[in-house]
Homo-oligomer: A and B are copies of this chain.
């Protein structure tokens, strides 16, 4: 006869595990001796080993009892289903491995390489770091929404950077960063920006942004910029009056703080 520790040792499990199986009804509670200790016979060892054989093969505890009592064909069916589950879990982990590998390849975040390339280039061209950061966050939103389109747009935008007008826009925005909401110089900046946008607008500017972006996402992108750059909201308002802002894909609204957006 065995105490619980002896039983556990024979089956290669912990005492806690045996008690857990009792509590779950997996292993029947044995008789107790005069002081309340559980007393096991050899069949308990056999039964416990049978249980462990199944759990060691990935069978969930909740199904062990049924499997031990099952006939050959239900057993085979259950095993097939468990094998299916195991394959699924392996697949999930392999996808995870691919993703974390992708994380170190990107900048450690949710960005495709095209976007990190674009951001590098903006920095190299002397664009203000605050603007680069806003771009960065904006691309995270875009990439989360539609990764492959974001990658294509980023590649396209990076190529346009070499051509002049776009980088001028960024420089103008950089100057606006340090101006207060009511600074009189904003008007002049708006003129310059309008000129840049005019020159941009020729060919593929429209394909950059503004198509395929639903209003909720567009509003989100706007508020991202407005939150970080106080003068941006007013600047956009000025641009709109010049009839340009609608072509940048920026919504901008009426230039006043938005009400909360509810639901999805």
Contacts and interface: CB of A to CB of B under 8 A. Distances in A.
Given A97-B86, A99-B57, A144-B11, A109 B50 contact: yes
Contact of A141 (B46, B83, B101, B137): B46
Given A43-B224, A83-B101, 17 more contacts: A6-B260, A6-B262, A10-B141, A11-B144, A42-B141, A42-B224, A43-B227, A46-B140, A49-B144, A50-B140, A53-B109, A53-B110, A57-B99, A57-B102, A82-B100, A86-B97, A90-B90
Interface in A29-86: 33, 37, 39, 41-43, 45-46, 49-50, 52-54, 56-59, 72, 75-76, 79, 82-83, 86
B141 A100 contact: no
A5 to B, nearest CB: 6
Contacts of A87: 97
Given A42-B224, A43-B137, A46-B141, A93 B103 contact: no
Interface in A134-174: 137, 140-141, 144
Given A46-B140, A75-B108, A224-B42, A1 B259 contact: yes
A180 interface: no
Contacts of A256: none
Contact of A264 (B6, B37, B223): B6
Nearest to A221: B42
Nearest to A89: B93
A42 B137 contact: yes
Contact of A59 (B100, B101, B109): B100
B90 A94 contact: yes
A104 to B, nearest CB: 6
B1 A140 contact: no
A102 B258 CA distance: 63
Given A43-B227, A86-B93, A79 B50 contact: no
A229 to B, nearest CB: 12
Interface string A234-255: 0000000000000000000000
B50 A1 contact: no
